[in-house]
Each structure stands twice: as C-alpha cells, then as structure tokens.
Structure 1
Amino acid sequence: MSTDDSFARNPSRGSAAGSPFVHLHVASGHSLQYGTSAPEVLVERAAELGMPLLALTDRDGLYGAVRFARACAGAGIRPVLGADLAVRPDGPQAPPATTPARGGRAVDAGLPRVTVLARGGRAGWGALCRLVSAAHGADLASAAAPAAELLAGRRRPAVTPELITRQLEDADALEGDLLVLLGPSSDVGRAITAGRPDLARALLRRWRERACGADLAVEVVHQLAPPGHPHSLPVAARMLGLAAEAGLPAVLTNAVRHARPEDAPVADILDAARRLVPLDRRHRDRANAEGHLKSAAEMALVAEEVVRAAGQSPTGTRRLLAATADLAAGLALDPYVHLGFGSVRMPEPAVLGIAPERATAELRARCEAGLVHRYGPAAGGPDARARLDDELALIRRLGYEAYFLTVAEVVDMVRGMGIRCAARGSGAGSLVNHLLGVSGVDPMRYGLLMERFLSERRTALPDIDLDVESARRTEVYQRLLDRFGAERTLCVSMQETYRARHAVRDVGAALGLPPEEIAAAAKAFPHIRARDVRAALRDLPELRSSRLDEGVFAVLFDLVEKLDGLPRHIALHPSGILLSDQRLRDLTPAEISAQGFPMSQFDKDDVEEIGLLKLDVLGVRMQSAMAYALTEIARTEQTEVDLDAVPHDDPATFELIRSTRTLGCFQIESPGQRELIGKFGPETFEDLIIDISLFRPGPVKSDMVTPFLNARQGWTKAEYPHPDLEPVLAETEGVVVFHEQVIKTIAVLTGCSAARADEARRALGSPGGQTAVGDWFTTEADRRGYPRAVVERAWEVLRAFASFGFCKAHAAAFALPTYQSAWLNPPPGRLPGRCPHP
C-alpha cells in the first residue's frame, strides 16, 4: 500500500480552502534539550484539534522524523518534515543578542537560524536529508575532510547559504525540492528585531538572488512577547510588511516547543541545561507559555492581531491563513512513497561483483559448495537438500539474495583480516547461513528452524548478528565503510534519554542548588527512569528516611518527572551497521560520531521502519581472549590451531565444564551458572544449548529450571501433554524451554505451517494477542480431534512459557564460543603445554 487509507478517505482534509490551521514550525523532544514533547504527543494533540497536516521541524536534525511520520499515519494526519538549521552568514549581520553564562562570561545567542521544509515531490525528502548531513559535516563532499574539521561539525552543526542554494537549484522544475522559511531567528528577522529594516531588505535580496522566489517564504511569529523580543507583535508586523513589500508569501507559525501550555517550565529547564546557566528570567528563550500547539481559532486571532498591527486590510487575515494552508498542502509527504515505509533496501549485487540477474544462481552455487564442505561427499543427504531448496525458494520470493550474499561477504572479509567472527541470534537457524560460512552451528543437527529467523509471515526484517573481537571492532567498521562506500554504509545511532540521575543533575543545576547537594541527591537514586523518582522515594527503604522530597526538592522532582524519556544526547550504537543501496543518503540524514564514524540520525527501530537492513557487529571480549590464546599457543608451541574445526564432543572439555571451574569460559562463569551446571552436569553440546537457555530471567522467574533438573536426574518422570508432543519436548524432559518448541507444539496440534505457528508465538507476548491466539488454537486443535483436556493443558503450557522461552538458535550460537573457550581452558590434570590440538 503506497498511501495511508485515511488520506484517501478524507481527500478534502488537506485542501487550503476552509481547512484547519497547519503548524509549520514545531520542535519535538528530539530537538535535543529544546523541545519538551515527544512526536507522538504532538500528533495526538493535533488530532484532538482536528488538524489535517502537521509539521515537525526539529533543531539541527531529523531525529524524530520516522516516529513522527508513523504516528501521523496512525492518526490520519499528513506529515510535513523539515529542520531548524543554523546558518553561517557570509555578509553584514545585525548584532546578536548575548546571554549571561556561568563564570560571568557572555555567550551570544548563536548563529541565525532558518526553517527548511521538504516539498512533497519525490526528491524533497532526499534533499532535506543531504542538507542536514552537510550541516553536520557528514555529506559525501566532506568525506575526505580532516577529522578535526568533521568533528567541528558535530559540535556546532550549521549550513551555509551556498549549501542551501545547492539544494534549492533544480533546472527541471519551477520549484525546488525545499522551502526555506525566513523567520524571526533568521538574519533577516534579527535585523528587523534590531531595528534595521534597511539591513533586513539587503539580506532578503541576497536570499532571493540565491534561489527562486518560490523557494522562499517569510515566517511570521507572534506570541504576545514584550517589545524587543523576536516573537513580539511589532516584529511580527514588520516581518509581514517586509514579505508584502518583497512580493514573497508570508506564513504564520507559532514556533511550537511544547504540546500544551503547562509544559512551558520544562522548556526553561532545558534552556538552562543547554547553556549551563542557572534558571533566570534573563536566560530563558520564552517570554510566556504561548509557544504551544494552538487551535485554529487561536491562530486566527493571532493572524488578525498581526494584520491589524501591520496596517493591512481585514482581508489580510484570510490571505495570511490561506497562504499558510496553500504552502502546507504542497509540503505533505507520504511515508510509504517518500520515506521508504514498507520497503527493503540492500546493496546491489553489482557491488559484490555479481550481475543482478545472476544473484539467485550465485547464492545457490555457493550453498551447493557449502553442502559438500560441511557434510562431505554425501552432501547431507535428501533432508539437507530439501531444506536447502525450501530456504532458497523463500529467499527468492522475498528478494533477499543480495542480503545473504552481502553478509557472507562481510564474514569472509572479517576473517580475511585475521579477526575472529561468529554469528549469533536466530540467523543460526538458517541452513543457508551455515552453508555460506556465516554460522558455525548446524541447524539440521540441532533442530533449528528457519521460520524463527525468516518467513513470509514475518514483518520484521532479517537480522544477522556477528560477534567479532572487541579489541578490533572499530577496524571492522572502517573496513566496511571502505568496502561498500560512504554512500551505501552508515553506522546506527542511539539516543540517550533522561533518566533519574541525569534529570536530577540538570534540574538541580537549573534551580541553582549547591553542586554538592545535587550530586548527593542524584547518587541516592538507582539507575531508574526519571518518571519513577517519587515511587523510589516511597518504596526504597534507604530513600524513605532521606526527606529528599521536602522544600525545594519537591519542585525539583516535579520537573524531573517531566523530563522522563526526552532525548538528551545522541551517540554511536555499539553494534549497528547499515548496508544499503546507493540511495541510503537520500533516506536518512547522517552526522559524525565522537569516534569519527558517519552515523545515521535514526536509531535501530527507525532504520528498520524505513526498510534499511541493519547488520549488528558486536565486540565480544571473549572473542579477543580466544584470539589471544590462539596466538600464544602458536608462539609457545609452534602449532596453528583451527578452533572452528575442533570437534564438539571432547570428553576433557565437558569434564572441565561439569567441574564448575569455568571462570574464563563464555556464558558459564557467573556464580549462578556454575551452580546450574553443577546440578545439570552437561555431557553433550546439546546440553550446553539447554543450559544457556535455562539460565535466563524468564525461565528462572517462571521456575522452569526445577522440573527440568528433577526429570533430568531421574527424580521425577518427564510428562508430555500428548504423545504427539514427545518428539518436540523430549530433549528438555517435557519442559518448554525454546521458542522453537513453542512453534512446533502449535504446528503439531493445529496442523498449521511453522511460519503460521511462529506468527502465533509472537502474538502471545501481548494480552490481546494471547486471547486471539488462544481462541484460534483451541478451535483448530479441537477440529483435529485432540481431547479437550489435552488442548487445555497444552494451551496452559504455551501461555505460561511462550513469553519466557529462549530462541534455541541463539542459544546454539552462544554454545559454540562457550564450548571453544572451555576447550582452551585446560581441565584439572591437563597441563597447558600438553593440550592436544588438531
């Protein structure tokens, strides 16, 4: 589906004539330490006010754009997307205002700012993404710039008029892909505020010389601020008059920072935290609480006041509102067409040296070779070949050949660098991944399911995680960027949000409390969400007697709770890498991380929403430790060890594991794990898989461990809801431990496919989904003739354990380095220099 159904049902909602007001300058909480409301909250408020369109124009980036567009699609509102960007001037400017700062210094109000909006054409969103990337020094043109210059863009992102002009130029269209709003914070608006209309006219002429007039509009803002404030009525009237004089359209905005008036104090806290100054009337940006999402009626009154102050006729009010609505109608974006919702993008086969029409054949050829390499001349027999045919057919139907070939290329490249690399996650359940060398775990032997990883009924994109040596992870990042190019590769970012301690520190500093009191109060709280501070004061014994919620701290905690969840900082995701086609930079803006890597401004959930495939490259210290051990073995014994070729049935290795002397062994060195393996006594690789799955919060919390150990040691008899389920549950003594067992149980009792069963398993995680699955499950099982008592017992097991189970493919992938690290640890009686190495 290319458009949201609600748009088709309400074709008149976006029309200019008679439509409600459209806000075109709105900051969300993703304007770091500036906006106070989440995008979803702004959309919810706009829906309450009956608005057909709404813009999101966060400062210095597009961090909240995907979440905003998703919320708009759910609310039947058409999204408009833009960014509030700083501009480095290139000519005479009005003198900037100054703001007092800590230590008696004076800090200017910063660079002039303009609001840049993407037009509704196909190229508008891409032009906006590239402009934002350029503001952060992360555009392709600056890829060869010195590192210091790139990091300067991270510290103070800004564009130049030339960069904006470059994006506005379009020889094939009457209008460019972007619309620039020159508001009270622009150089033109600052000149008006400073009482320099002559300078304002000169600056406006310079803007018009750079771009077609259709790409410019004058932004008028009136928030009942006192004279001299950029949002005052005199400034708004002069801006409106300047637009009329220059023949440019004027649009009315409210420069929104919060959804509702009561959120205004949070904006003051954020201003103080951003500037590192105590909260004071002289320091805050707002003059009152008027910068909220006002209704159409309220904005009509604002327009009337501005028109009257500008000395224009009453019809000017209608013209101003109509001009705003007309421009907004041409700016609306379709998330599916423009942002990539519902699509999938991956590197082109040509990047891998493969002709596009040969991708399917190339993948099959490599898998056929892998059959012989993994299973010998018999190639695994008919079962392995049938499984391979099924997986390849699924991959072909979904069009994911390039993805699997790309991941295989990455794994070969990493190992070619002499870096240990192992797959983790549900991808280990794919035979194709095993045959390509991506995963070292045999899914045929251990009963792993492709459907837990990929199926036609799974909406989530395939996700293959790779563990590499932590000491060399950044080398892998750089090699990926070099191999696939900056236009196809980006790291993923993550946003650090306000939690209790950070919120207490920032609010305390804004309120001017002594630093030692702030530090003591912040450290008193555990690492909890900011919204939970009062619950902690009530429930935690060490805080109940602290009397922290008295006096000024009562006000502090009110503000702390309101900061909950607001983004505070953006950083490099510890593992996510995007590998896409050459349109990557048209789908996501980029900036430079503190480590110097280009990263998307979107987080892991956002990039999946817009169809960008993410490869997780995780740095694992155990992989580094094993690599070091292998190096030392080669140095001291002159023996090269192929750890990946070590058989998985070495008795001495399992003797060490059963001894519980497993410090230095991956996943089984904690006190709790050593206790579990002592009671369990693993004897095979399959036992290791079960052990790793049992020692998880879910199985422990739901007491799955005790019945398993009782049956394992022969103290009780394994019980099965029905004999048909014994093959499914025999390996875990009748206890449901793995997601794969849930899938097989549902498939056996209902007769459905594994893909449909996995869909049901995923739905069990929510109360509503559990009810729907329960009705379907019992109906289908009854229809197949299973006794009602058996069906009810099986359903109780599924309902109790489905949300606590663990993915067996993930556990099997973890069991491999667990076994390898144990093999490298000599058990009692075996000297380090006497280890048998293949």
Structure 2
Amino acid sequence: MGSESYAELHCHSQFSFLDGASTPEALAAEAMRLELSALALTDHNGFYGVVRFAEAARAVGLPTIFGAELTLGRTAPPVADPDPGSAAGESHLIILARNPRGYALLARALSEAQLRGEKGAPRASLAELCALGGTAAPAVDRNHWLVLTGCRKGAVASALEHYGPAAAADQLALLVNVFGRDNLAVELWDHGHPLDSVRNDALMQIALRGDVDLVATTNAHYATPAERPLATALAAVRSRRSLDEIDGWLPAAAGAHLRSGFEQARRFARYPGVVERAGELGQACAFDLKLVAPNLPPFPCPDGLNEMGYLRRLTERGAERRYGPRHRERVAGAWAQIDHELSIIEQLGFPGYFLIVHDLVDFCRRNDIYCQGRGSAANSAVCFALGVTKADAIELGLLFERFLSPERDGPPDIDIDIESGRREEVIQYVYQRHGRHYAAQVANVITYRPRSAVRDMASALGYAPGQADAWAKNVDRWGSLIAQLEDNANTVAPEPDSDAIPQVVVELAAQIEHAPRHLGIHSGGMVLCDRPIIEVCPVEWARRENRSVLQWDKDDCAAAGLVKFDLLGLGMLTALHNTVDSITEAYGFAIDIAEVPQDDAVYDMLCVADSVGVFQVESRAQMATLPRLKPRKFYDLVVEVALIRPGPIQGNSVHPYIRRRNGLEKITYLHPLLEPSLAKTLGIPLFQEQLMQMAIDVAGFSPGEADQLRQAMGSKRSSERMERLRGRLFEGMAERGITGDIAEQIFDKLAAFANFGFPESHSVSFAYLVYSSSYLKRYFPAAFCAGLLNAQPMGFYSPHTLVADARRHGVVVRTPDLTASGVGATLEWVEGRAAATADVPFPIDAFPVGGADVPQPAVRLGLASVRSVGDELAERIVAEREAKGPYVSMTDLAQRVDIDRTALEAMATAGVFSNCTDRSGANLDRRRALWVAGAVAETSADRLPGIVTGTDAPSLPGLSDRELAGADLWATGVSPDGHPTLFEREHLASLGILTAAELRTAPTDTRVLVG
C-alpha cells in the first residue's frame, strides 16, 4: 500500500487505560495492512499491553518496538481531565528500547517511577532517567534508548506553545544533555489541526539548529478513523465529564490513527526525510519480546549440592517416611515412580521450582500455618514425598503426566491453599526471601463488562447518572451485550424518546466490552525471576499496603515465560485451624488433621446429608446427592466432589453414576480395554486423568501424548493438533482391534468428556478437607462451630444457620459477655470460665472413633460478633481486661476503653452487660443497659466525674423471649435460643403453614406453604 518504508514510533492501545481505543491485536493487524516496517507500542507509564502486542505482531509477521510515554514531574494522581498529564509542572516523554538491554532499563525506570510515587502517581524525573540510561549512566547502560520529544505535552512542544522558540530550544538542549544527541529525535505529528503545520515548522527549525534528528509520527490513539467516536467517549470517561462539556478539548478531525508510509510522506512532504528516518530508526529498534524471558532464581543449597542433588535428598528423605526404605517399600512401585518423576524433573530443568514450593510449604509448617498443595501437583509422588500435597498419587493411581511430562510446554503448576487469615504472612515471606525486586504479584486486568460499559458510555454521552444506572441494570452482568440485546429486542430504543437503551449507547458499549479499565490484583499468583523482575515487567503498588503488583496478568506472564506460583487463601483451612486450636485448649488433645482416622460414624453422618459447614459438600445440590451416593470410603468423597460440577452435570454423568452405584443400572464398557481406566467410577468417565488413561489403554498413547490429547480436546484453538492426534488415536485403536462404530463411539466419548471432565487431582485434594471437616463436625461440633464462626465470612451459610445446626447437635451457644467473651467465639465448660488445658474435666488422649460420645463445652460468642464493634475494638476491650482486670460495670468499660455510643448500645442490645450491675447494685439486664448506654458513653476518661446524669436506670420490665430473640438477631446475627419465628409457630400452623421438617410427610403432588 505504501511505497515509503515507514515505522510508527508513537502509538497508544487500550492499555493506556481510557486514552487508547484499539486493542494491541487491532493495531498490529492494521499496521500490517498498511505495510508498516515496524510498530512501537508506547502506552502511558507502563508495559501493560506489550505481551499481547508481541503475540499479535508475531502472528502476522510485524516487527515490534517496545516503549512507553512517561509522565515527568507528577506529584499526585491525575485530576479528572481529558488530556492525561495536563497538570501544572508535568510533561510527557517517549522512550523506545533499542534492544533487550534498553527494554530492561526502561522497565526498571517505569518500576522505580511507580514505586517512588503513590498508587496512580508514578514519579519520574530527567535526573533519574539520566542516571539510569542517559549520559550519567554507567557506560554499559548508555545508548540503549531512543528518546522522542513527544506530543504537545512534551517539554519541547509545550514550551514552544506557551513560551516560544527560545524556551523550546532550551528544553531540547536539556534533553540532549540528559540522553545524548544521537539518542534523541524531535517528533513531528499532524492530526489535521490548522496549527499543526505552524508547530511542525517551528519544531523543524529548532531541531536543525540543535543538530537533532527529526522524525514523523502519527501519535496514534486508535487504529482506524472509524474508532474516533469511541476514543472521544473514552476521553469523556477519563475526565468524568460528558462529551459536550469537553468539546473544546477534542480534536476537530479523526487524525490520531495509523497511516501508511505513503500517506505520511504526502502529509510531511515539506519536511524532507522525516518519514524515511522514522522507518530507519524503527527497524533498528525492532526485536522480539522472547529475548527478555527470565528464569527462576537459583535456590541456595547446602553441603555444596546443586539444585537437583538437594531436591533428590529432600525427596528421598520424605519417601522413606511415606513408603519405607528402597529395599522394603510398603507400597509396590513407589521408589520406581519416585525415580521416574525425578528424572523427568531433571530432564526439564525444574528442580528449582520444586525447591521453591517446598520452601514455601516448609515456612508454613514452621510457623504453624495450615496449607495444602493442590491442583495437578496431587498427581506427583515427589510432591507427596516433599509434603507439598496430602494425596498419595501412587496409592490412588494418579497419572504423573497430567502434572508434568516432556511433551508439555512450560513449567508445572502447583497451587498452594493457605489459611486465608495468614496468607499475607506467606506473601511477605516471599518478598523477604527473594527480594521485592525479584518477586511480585500478578495483576488482574479489570475489564469492561456489559453493565459497566453501558453505564460509562451513557455518562459520556451526557445522560444523567440515574438514567445510566437504570439502563445498566437492564443488562446482565456477564455475557455478550449484543447477544443479550438480540435476545430481548425491546431493550434497545427504536426511538429517541424510548425508555430502552439508545442505539448509540449500545454501539459504543459493545466496542469496549472486555477492554481494560484498570488494574487489580490476582487472587494469589506470584512471579519470581533470576534477575530483577522490574527489568522484565514494570511493577507498581497495589491498593493493599505493602503489596506490589506486575503490570501483566497471568496469561501475559505465561506467554512471556515467567513462572507463576499460586498462593491461594482458603477459608476452610482457617476454620480447621481454629477448630484444632479450640480442641487443644478445651480437651488438652492436639489433633493433626492429616492423621484423622477413617471412621464409619463420619460416613454415616454424611449419608444423611448432615453436612452444614462441611467443606465442598454443604451446598443444596451436594446435600441432595449425598444420601443417594451413600459415601462409605474416602474415594467416594473424591467422586462426590467431582459429581456436582457444571461439567459432569452437563455431560449427563451424575444420574448414570448414582444408578450404577445403587445397583439400578448395569456397569458396562464400550470395550474391555476401557475397564482399567473406568472401573473405579463404575464405567462413567468423570476425571481428566481417565481420558488420558483411556487413550493409553485403547490406543497405546504414551502418558505425554495422552496429556497432549487432553489439552487439544479441551482447547477451541487447537484444531490442527487435534486432527493429528485423532489420526494417531484411530491408528492405535485399530492396532488393538478397535475399529468401526466402537472406535467412533470411543472418540466421541473422549471428545465430549474433554469439555467437562474434572481433574481428579483437584478432587482428591478437596476430599481430604471434606473428610477432615466432617470428622471434626461429627466428634467436636462445639469446636467446629466456633472455628467456623471465627473464620467468617466463608461458606454457604450465615452464622445464625451455623449456630442453629450446632444446637441441633446438642451444643449450647451463649451470648457475648463482657467478662467471659474473647474477641471471637470461644469454648467454656462452666459459666463464665473459659476452657484451659491445665484444668480440663474431660481429657482425651486418642482420636475418638466409632461414634464415641465426646462431651461438648458451650460456645461463647465473641465481642467482635456484636454489630458496630468489630475486631479492632473487641481486641482493645479484651487487651485492657487482660492487662488491668475485669470490667465491673458499663461505666468502667467506657472510662477504660475509647468506645462510642453506637457500639455501647449494640453491646447492650446483645446482652454483653447482663452480668454487670449499675451504681445501685442492680443487675444490668438488656433493657436497663440500653436505657443508660447513651449517658454512659459520655463518661469517658477525659470527662470530669459526676457531670453526666442518667447513668442509673429505673426499674424496668425485662425483655420477653420473643424480644430477646429479636435483639440477638439484630445485634449479632445469631439467636442462640431460637429464631423469632418459633414464637409464631402456633399461629403459622393454624394457617396450614408447614415446617421444613414436615415436608417429608406432606402428600405428594400437593401445593403447600412452608415457613
């Protein structure tokens, strides 16, 4: 299309966050259509989009240049302004990396600017850039950048506009001193504005006098002119104003789009050589992002061992504990499998990965933090030997190649579940152990969804906030906006005065669906590098204190070759730890949940769906399945976890499995060779590992090939690879005598199953927690209830439901008390005295089994459970009580702890002061406590004694049982003595309204009311 060799050196994508309208993929495609020799991506203050850009450009054969537009002089987050960086004292500067070293230096410069400022306000300066990659840098770090003077907010153009040519020349001279004449170019651009030529003429003269290169750019903010309306709408969103309000800021024409070399040569004909020079510099700066891919940091090993030697030592030590010595192994084939896995790990070069994961788990163990490796790592005997996972992959027959094989791309994937309350300790350990410059958390790019897209575009077009919200609520939160509106044609306004969404709003909103809005933080992904990570991907502050986050998401990290570790918070591990601590305190018996024995009484409980609070099987769907499945052993729980998932439900696996489980359907196989892989699930495929084993058994696939088949079948983007593997599969089946319809049926079953199969390794890891939580619920319901309450919010049920379930199991639950309560729920054997190991009335010295009747303490609700109190105030109240003795009255509390009226009144409503007295010695029941709470709140330590009146309550009637239940629910969300509806039961029954329990005996096919 263009006869001129031209490279675009200044281009913004959607990753300039509301200052670019096109995706990196669209920019790369348009650049190829225009026959550009290279394209630079120069988003604001970051490399947010470079991975997607690099992948898209690589796919179409476009040379890539990596750069950024830095904001200099910023001291605070940007104001709501359509023109980024327009605050006083700020200027823009384009820096392009000439090579991988220049990329690393620029990434470091961006990181240091981000970390030097607060979130959203990177602080870069010419002095710092000069020392890092400019004329003051070490010789080895000079001449790796190409610097452009930038847009109208660049220092040179801005000085020219506001102060004239002399000031602009001074700014150019300053840049020459900072970066060197050979690393600098004056940028000309033409968006069709009447004054563009005047400005460019002046800039050319300044460049010629300063003997500095001149280049032409399009200063592109979108790929094609058609995207100009979206770009202006995004400018309105960025400024938090309407398009009408910012009309004066907006360019008159759609000029900020990519152009061909031919068109640029025509536009800049009066400036000889500027287009060709852009092409020359662009080609000189182009390189592939693969050149910056890092490795893991080296792991320090003792005794002169290398990483593989140290991993082998740790694994063999663990294997001896798990399986016995080599010559007397307790599990047949265990050591052979260990050796096989270690050889694969060594072959692929991943010993350091396993050592890092082992180190994280060992840190948790040393610091009494509950954790558990899960995911496909549960398929590994090495992970089991190292203590990373709880699943014995050999005994369970799990395929290692689902986790790691020579045929797989990339490193293994080990997720570590950590008790949610202490995950931050592990994250900070990673920073401390490896250094903040070598470790960072992975970003989560927050993108536009249908609702947010409609809301923002409606606001940009000037519609009132209430109207924009109303339209946003008319569409679903997820899914495609266009698909939703096609399903409901009345949602789009046919006429301007309609109440439905205007067509122009819909069109703009559809264009920004899935466009990046801002950065969040991934739920647990962390990346480690062997070099400063800030030289691979810029790092910036996250919203949470002491957290730094990469500018890339997990997919970007994987594509760029960074290794991610997932440190995931799991509320159930917190609840289990709380429960075990309570058991130790109450009974003097330390439970190791990894050693909990298998027990029929636990399975009896699950068979009747008594699973409120139990991990993974407490949902209504799981509760409905438990009595039909009738679990009697551990592997039944593995199946139970996997059954109630979208995949098996959609794949019609649930009912056939249960029918076979109960002998209502014969167990059959399409071919006898399928029996080894499907026997443990009664001929019904449930797990991804079974797909792999089926391919091994019927077609002779190697385990690595079988994993490739699993990946290909589960991917929508691997049709070519799938066709190759399909041919290999049919060839292998034919060699084993499987042809015709049977072969086709097996393939169809594999293909359908690939889309819904659940990883068996995940299910096994979860099943351990299912059983552990079930055991604790069965034998220690009081401690289990307290553990769940102290881990809130988590799970399916509210604290009230958890307490009601505990009461059904005979547990006494007591209201919060000023003297007896801790911060959270605690256990107590007698009124007002917490359980203590030194004085336990019912010591236990072994795991109870066989349905043993274990005496249960009462659960005392904590002060933090009271509305308006919370953890921080509750901790201060308890700390003061422990330091200086019990509180003798409400007034005593108000004078010793800074507490407001709202909290005092909520505590009074909850009955916290029921064991206190007022000045007359009268018991302070709830009504009397409420009467005086407002006055007592004014008697703080800084007030003179005796000046507040009303701190003594008159004689008042106590609350009725109905009022007490209502007060408990209002104040704590929990009614220990029953729900208020109990007091209406007689009236409800007279109206024919049934309880949930009475539904069992209600006649079939009759309509009833339940309440």
Structure 2 match to 1:5: none
The amino acid that maps onto 1:186 is G
Higher mean alpha-carbon deviation, 595-604 vs 391-400, is at 595-604
User: Kindly tell me: are residues 173 and 481 of structure 1, through their superposed partners in 2, closer, same or farther at Cα, counting changes over 3 Å?
Assistant: closer
Matches within 5 A, 1:203-352: 203-227=171-195, 232-280=196-244, 281-282=246-247, 284-305=249-270, 307=271, 316=272, 319-337=273-291, 339-340=292-293, 345-350=295-300
Q: Does 1:674 align with 2:653?
A: no
1:215 alignment partner AA: N
Question: What is the match of residue 390 of structure 1?
Answer: 340
2:14 aligned residue (1, 6, 29)? 29
- How far residue 211 of structure 1 moved from its aligned partner, in angstroms, is 2.5
Q: How does 1:485-634 map to 2 (within 5 A)?
A: 485-529=435-479, 532-540=480-488, 543=491, 553-596=502-545, 597-634=547-584
Candidates 634, 646, 651, aligned match of 1:697: 646
Q: Which position in structure 2 is the counterpart of 1:163?
A: 128
Report the identity percentage.
Answer: 31
- Structure 1 residue 538, shift from structure 2 partner: 3.8
Does residue 784 (structure 1) correspond to residue 736 (structure 2)? The answer is yes
Q: Which amino acid in the other structure matches residue 738 of structure 2? A: Y
1:258·1:292 contact (CA, 8 Å) conserved in 2? Answer: yes
Matches of 1:212 and 1:545, distance apart in 2: 58
Bigger Rg over Cα: 2
Tell me how far apart the structure 2 counterparts of residues 587 and 191 of structure 1 sit (CA, whole Å). 34
Give yes or no for the alignment of 1:837 onto 2:847.
Answer: yes
Question: How far, CA to CA, are the matches of 1:304 and 1:737 in structure 2?
Answer: 68
User: Is residue 600 of structure 2 the alignment partner of residue 663 of structure 1?
Assistant: no
Aligned partner of residue 35 in structure 2, secondary structure: coil
Residue 131 of structure 1 corresponds to which residue in structure 2? 109
Q: Deviations over 1:684-727 (max 9, x none)?
A: 11111111112111110121111111111111111112222212
Q: Does residue 433 of the first structure (1) align with residue 383 of the second (2)?
A: yes
Equivalent AA in structure 2 for residue 189 of structure 1: A
What is the aligned residue count?
Answer: 776
Deviation (angstroms), 1:511: 1.5
CA distance in 1, matches of 2:492, 2:158: 51
1:1-40 CA distance string (max 9 Å, x none): xxxxxxxxxxxx9xxx976311000101111111111101
Indicate if the aligned counterparts of 1:175 and 1:214 stay in contact, CA closer than 8 A: no
SS in 2 for 1:62: coil
2: CA distance between counterparts of 1:650 and 1:241? 88
- Over 3 Å counting, the alpha-carbon distance change for 1:505 and 1:192 in structure 2 is same
> Which residue number in structure 1 is paired with residue 972 of structure 2?
none
In structure 2, distance between residues paired with 1:110 and 1:466: 47
Query: 1:57, 1:82 within 8 Å by CA — same for their partners in 2?
Result: yes
Identify the range of structure 1 (456-465 vs 762-771) with the bigger mean alpha-carbon deviation.
762-771
Tell me if the contact between 2:82 and 2:235 (Cα under 8 Å) persists in the aligned partners.
no
Q: Deviations over 1:797-826 (max 9, x none)?
A: 212212211111111111111111111112
Task: Tell me the equivalent position of 2:321.
Answer: 373
Structure-to-structure mapping, 1:710-725, within 5 angstroms: 710-725=659-674
Q: What's the counterpart of residue 93 of structure 1?
A: none
Q: Tell me, in whole angstroms, the C-alpha distance in 2 between the residues paired with 1:505 and 1:830.
A: 49
Q: Distance in 1 between matches of 2:248 and 2:352?
A: 54
Out of 300, 305, 311, the position equivalent to 1:363 is: 311
Cα separation, 2, equivalents of 1:469 and 1:114: 45
Q: 1:687 aligns to what?
A: 636
Q: Which deviates further from its counterpart, 601-610 or 825-834? A: 825-834
Per mean C-alpha deviation after superposition, the further-off stretch among 387-396 and 128-137 is 128-137
CA distance in 2, matches of 1:612, 1:369: 30
CA shift in 2, pair 1:286/1:623, >3 Å = farther
Take 1:478 and 1:362, find their aligned partners in 2: how far apart are those partners?
25
Is residue 2:774 matched to residue 1:825?
A: no
The equivalent position to 1:643 in structure 2, one of 579, 583, 593, is 593
| Code of the aligned partner of 1:470 | S
Alignment of 1:796 with 2:748, yes or no, is yes
In structure 2, what is the equivalent of residue 48 of structure 1? 33
Paired with 2:543 and 2:109, the residues of 1 have a C-alpha distance of 20
User: Which deviates more, 192-201 or 569-578?
Assistant: 192-201
Unaligned 5+ residue runs, structure 2?
782-807, 812-841, 849-1011
Separation in 2, partners of 1:294, 1:58:
18
Q: Give 1:771 deviation, angstroms.
A: 3.8
Helix, strand or coil: the match of 1:371? Answer: helix
SS in 2 for 1:626: helix
For the residue of structure 2 that corresponds to 1:601, the secondary structure is strand
Q: 1:810-821 alignment to 2 at 5 Å?
A: 810-821=762-773
Partners in 2 of 1:632 and 1:381 — Cα distance? 36
**Partners in 1 of 2:566 and 2:526 — Cα distance?**
6
Contact 2:420 2:574 in 1 (8 A): yes
Which of 103, 119, 122 aligns to 2:98? It is 119
Residues 1:381 and 1:686: Cα distance change in structure 2 (over 3 Å): closer
Q: Which amino acid aligns with 2:847?
A: H
Moved more, 503-512 or 559-568: 503-512
Structure 2 vs 1, CA of residues 258 and 665 (structure 1 numbering), >3 Å: closer, same or farther? same
For residue 446 of structure 2, what is the amino acid of its counterpart? E
Contact 2:493–2:503 under 8 Å retained in 1: no
Contact 2:308–2:351 (CA<8 Å) still a contact in 1?
Answer: yes
Determine the C-alpha separation between the residues in 2 that align with 1:206 and 1:460. 46
- 1:754 matched to 2:721: no
Give me the whole-angstrom Cα distance separating, in 1, the residues matched to 2:411 and 2:157. Answer: 46
Whole-Å Cα distance in 1 between the matches of residues 490 and 648 of structure 2?
31
Query: Residues 101 and 252 (structure 1 numbering): CA distance in 2 closer, same or farther, change over 3 Å?
Result: closer
Three-state SS of the structure 1 residue aligned to 2:202 is helix
Counterparts of 1:324 and 1:479, CA distance in 2: 47
Contact 1:272 1:284 in 2 (8 A): no
SS of 2:772's equivalent in the other structure is helix
TM-aligned CA distance change 1:717 to 1:98, over 3 Å: closer
Q: Given the superposition, is the C-alpha separation of residues 345 and 745 from structure 1 closer, same or farther in structure 2, using an over 3 Å criterion? A: same
Preserved CA contact (<8 Å) 2:360 2:426? no
Structure-2 residue corresponding to 1:147: none
SS in 2 for 1:124: helix
Structure 1 letter corresponding to 2:504: V
Name the counterpart of 2:409: 459
Contact 1:99 1:108 in 2 (8 A): no
Q: Could you list the runs of 5+ residues in structure 1 that have no partner in the other structure? A: 1-12, 91-96, 143-149, 308-315
Q: TM-score, normalised by structure 1?
A: 0.88
Cα distance, 1:789–1:282 mapped onto 2, change above 3 Å: closer
TM-fit CA distance, 1:766 = 4.2
Mapped contact 2:73–2:89 kept (Cα < 8 A): no
Match of 1:472 in 2: 422
Q: CA deviation at 1:770?
A: 4.1
Q: Conserved in 2, the CA contact under 8 Å of 1:85 and 1:113? A: yes
Matches within 5 A, 1:39-118: 39-88=24-73, 108=87, 111-118=90-97
What is the alpha-carbon distance in structure 2 between the residues aligned to residue 172 and residue 396 of structure 1?
39
